[in-house]
Amino acid sequence: MASIYDDFSRYFDEAAQFSDMDRGLLEQVKTCNNMYHMSFPVENEAGEIEVIEAYRAQHSHHRLPTKGGIRYSTMVDADEVKGLAALMTFKCAIVDVPFGGAKGGVCIDPYQRSPEFVERVTRRLVIELDHHSFIGPSIDVPAPDYGTGEREMAWIADTYRTLNPHDIDHFGCVTGKPLTLHGIPGRREATGLGVFHGIINCLSDPEAGHNLSPGLDGKRVIVQGLGNVGYHAARELSDHGARIVGIAEHDAGLYDANGLDMEAIAQHRWEHGGIAAFPAGQVFANSQETLEQPCDILVPAALEHQLTVDNADRIQAEVIAEAANAPTTPDADRILRDRGITLIPDLYLNAGGVTVSYFEWLKNLSHVSFDRMLVGAADMQSRRMLDTMQAITGNALPLHERAMLERGPTEIDIVNNSLAKTMGESYERISTLRRERGLPDLRTAAYLYSLELVAQSYVELGFFP
């Protein structure tokens, strides 16, 4: 099977055909600048020394710091990390976040290991990265990814801080931190929420190529993966009227055309580590079959290479929303496109996570929360407006309504509204480019938009006079 980096290369080359920029320059945009492969010893649960393999790829330095998650999985290898780092560069360009792309991977299965072992691995990883200048608020900023979360980010922040006590911006060395450790509200939900906005934007686009009406009311959705991204996307979609008809997990899939109780299934998964025993609808022991059931929107939110030449012919969705990274192989992509299925590509659709990571990093560098300096002034402005309206009309609002209208935006209001705006503007950019340049699909448009933007940055930096 081709690697994520091979997939990325093919998508890149297809999009690059539509560009008349210098070929050498485009080669630089495509290539992965740095790759650091580490092997380090860590004491395991049995008190023995275990050698851990880990990688950090920095794909592009046209903007600094470089940015991207760290995944913990036994599937991790250099090519996967390189491909995911490249995707990060293009993601950041699409959502106008001023970072180069990076990605890290550690070859362990965190679900089978003790928290103490995972902590030792994480702290040792930071020492390796720090000693080789592969981490820092102005160098390279990790974040959560598959198999990591707030807990690991807290260990990263703490270790970096211990190693760099004089770096006043030390908390900006990693994003996706717990709220109590200078994280930002909304980061945990951000990727899923971004997926929701991306789907809404595509449904409202009459030229996207699907036959669905705008809005989510009654739309049938199948979600693969109820992890952080899939769960929050599914929750948001169903809160806005969609019907979750299928859920595929690692151990089984469930399908019910009348709709599934997504919250109850998520709760069951949380308690039992799977959904096979949940009593609902039709159960597929081979969870992949769930993806082939009838629906309007299919949301692969798990791992890479889920839609391949083996199942692309049998997918019955009108729209595929790539919440995961690289869930569709290029050959499957071609089959789906030829079958008239609209695909919202990963590099746009799951960029909500890095967008809110950007907000968290900005907050860490400014050492103040977004609402703190705004809220007093916003309160005052609404108070004045309400006083004026009251003076003109002679009518006073009930106290609780007045209190609600007077209140300035909270930090979560600022984060979520800025995320929605970013996803809207980015969609507009790629769909306009697709129209103007006569491109075959949204993925080609997303790649072309970002590769030309990154190439242009290299030109402006003077690398190519």
Name the phi and psi angles at 106, rounded to 5: -125, 130
Near ligand GLU by CB under 6 A, which window of 20-28, 218-226, 349-357, 412-420?
349-357
Report helix, strand or coil for 133.
coil
Determine which one of 91, 103, 177, 363 is catalytic. Answer: 103
Q: How far is the CB of 372 from ligand GLU (least distance, A)?
A: 23
Q: How far is the CB of 192 from ligand GLU (least distance, A)?
A: 12
Structure tokens, 369: 């929360």
Which residue of 25, 143, 260, 430 would you call a contact of ligand GLU, by CB under 6 A? 143
Specify whether the CB–CB gap between 60 and 89 falls below 8 A.
yes
- Residue 97 or 442: the one with the smaller Cβ distance to ligand GLU is 97
Q: How far is the CB of 142 from ligand GLU (least distance, A)?
A: 7
Return d(Cα 80, Cα 57) in angstroms, integer. Answer: 10
Residues 6+ apart with CB under 8 A from 97: 67, 91, 351, 354, 355, 358
Q: How far is the CB of 230 from ligand GLU (least distance, A)?
A: 14
Determine the residue with CB nearest ligand GLU. 69
Which residue of 121, 320, 354, 445 would you call a contact of ligand GLU, by CB under 6 A? 354
Q: How far is the CB of 444 from ligand GLU (least distance, A)?
A: 21
Among positions 25-84, residues that touch ligand GLU (CB under 6 A) are 67-69
Note whether 353 binds ligand GLU by CB under 6 A: yes
Note whether 157 binds ligand GLU by CB under 6 A: no
Return d(Cα 456, Cα 21) in angstroms, integer. Answer: 9
Near ligand GLU by CB under 6 A, which window of 194-202, 351-359, 380-388, 390-398?
351-359
- Residue 141 or 335: the one with the smaller Cβ distance to ligand GLU is 141
Q: How far is the CB of 71 from ligand GLU (least distance, A)?
A: 8
- Residue linked to tokens 């242009």: 456
C-beta neighbour count of 12 within 10 angstroms: 18
Among positions 168-227, residues that touch ligand GLU (CB under 6 A) are 175
In the residue annotation, 219 being an active-site residue is answered as: no
Whole-number Cα distances in Å, 249 to 83, 104, 365: 24, 25, 39
**Size of the residue set binding ligand GLU (CB under 6 A):** 11
Which string of b and e fits 219-254 if b means at least 16 CB within 10 Å?
bbbbbbbbbbbbbbbbbbbbeeebbbbbbbbbebbb
Reported as type and span, the H/E element at residue 120 is helix 115-131
Burial class (CB in 10 A: 0-12, 13-18, 19+), 167: middle
Report helix, strand or coil for 342.
strand
Which residue of 325, 364, 444, 450 would you call a contact of ligand GLU, by CB under 6 A? 325
- Residue 118 or 326: the one with the smaller Cβ distance to ligand GLU is 326
Chain residues that interact with ligand GLU, rule: CB under 6 A: 67-69, 143, 145, 175, 325, 350, 353-354, 357
Catalytic residues, by residue number, are: 103
